[in-house]
Amino acid sequence: MRLGFGKGHNVDPAGVLNAIASAVVVADRDGKIRFVNQATEQLFNTSAAVLCRSNLKDFIPADSPVFSLVAQAIDEATLVADHDLLIESPKIGRHAVNLTVGSMPDENGSAVLTFEPRSIAQKIDNQLLSRNSARSVSAMAAILAHEIKNPLSGIRGAAQLIEQTATEDDRVLTRLICDEADRIVNLVDRMEIFSDKPLERGAVNIHTVLEHVRRLAENGFGQNLHFEEVYDPSLPPVYGNRDQLIQVFLNLVKNAAEAVQTEDGQITISTRYQHGVRLAVAGGDTRVHLPLVVSVRDNGPGIPPDMRESLFDPFVTTKPTGSGLGLALVAKIIADHGGVIEVKDVPTGGAEFQIMLPIYHRNLAEDVQANQKDSWIKEETL
DSSP 330: H
Nearest to 351, CA basis, from 261, 248, 268, 293: 268
| Chain segment 90-126, per-residue pLDDT in tens | 888 888 888 999 998 776 789 999 998 775 445 445 5
pTM of the predicted model over 0.75:
no
Of the candidate ranges 223-232, 300-309, 339-348, the one whose mean pLDDT is the lowest: 300-309
User: Cα(122)–Cα(96) distance, rounded to whole angstroms?
Assistant: 8
pLDDT at position 235 = 92
3-state secondary structure of 365: helix
| Chain segment 203-234, per-residue pLDDT in tens | 999 999 999 999 989 888 888 899 999 999 99
Report yes or no: 190 and 134 within 8 Å, Cβ to Cβ: no
Report yes or no: 239 and 360 within 8 Å, Cβ to Cβ: yes
| Chain segment 24-50, per-residue pLDDT in tens | 999 999 999 999 998 899 889 889 999
Measure Cα distances from 226 to 15, 109, 229, 258, 265 in Å: 44, 46, 10, 13, 6
Q: Which helix (H) or strand (E) holds 65?
A: helix 65-76
User: Cα(264)–Cα(261) distance, rounded to whole angstroms?
Assistant: 8
Measure Cα distances from 376 to 351, 367, 370, 371 in Å: 37, 14, 10, 9
Q: Is the torsion defined by CA of 175, 179, 181, 182 positive or negative? A: positive
